[in-house]
Amino acid sequence: MPALSSGMESGKIISWLKRQGDMVQRGDAIAEIETDKATVEMEATVTGLLIEILRQPGEEIEVGVAIAFIEAST
């Protein structure tokens, strides 16, 4: 879970906007995350294949915990 606002310690996944197996481009919105201040879209930081989603909607996750894996394309 990336820090999506200053002081963010955890966030809740509202929904996944991409599915496991989807190709994503850097900057694509891949999930909606509820922070302590707002609901924001989380963007992919790399271009590649979304190979695994580790956390499901409704889960509260601490910043720094992996929520998905993207296999970067070269």
For the chain, what are the domain ranges? Answer: 11-72
Contact 14, 33 (CB under 8 A): yes
Say which CATH class 11-72 falls into. mainly beta
Burial 22-52 (b: 16+ CB within 10 A, else e): eebeeebebbbbbbeeeebebebeeebebee
d(CA 31, CA 43): 7
For residue 13, how many other CB atoms are within 10 A of its CB?
21
From first to last of its 74 residues, the chain has per-residue pLDDT tens of 878 777 889 999 999 999 999 999 999 999 999 988 889 999 999 999 999 999 999 999 999 999 999 999 86
